[in-house]
Amino acid sequence: MSSVRSKGSTPGHRQYERHPVSCEIDGDVFSGHYWVAGMILVVSTAAGGASRQLADRQPEELARSLLRDFVLANQPDLPASPRLP
């Protein structure tokens, strides 16, 4: 019995199209990438990432908002920064 495998991919692993996203906070530009996996939008940066259900929002709008929230939550020197426990 022989098996057929697709080259360059592992079972259960999907490649999602990544899109650049950026936001400006206090004159500084922060950037990352986002992709949609089913109904979940994922934002990834060099410092980490976050995800949220897409719901009825446009992907780019939600990605920009999620990136901004992530940056504010993880930058101690930004005045509007809510720190995560």
How far is the C-alpha of 39 from the C-alpha of 20, rounded, in Å?
A: 19
pTM for the full model? Answer: 0.72
Q: Per-residue pLDDT tens for 63-77?
A: 999 999 999 998 776
Q: Concatenated DSSP letters for 9-75?
A: --TT------EEEEEEETTEEEEEEEEEETTEEEEEETTEEEEEE-TTS-HHHHHHHHHHHHHHHH-
Q: Per-residue pLDDT tens for 15-59?
A: 889 999 999 999 999 999 999 999 999 999 999 999 999 988 999
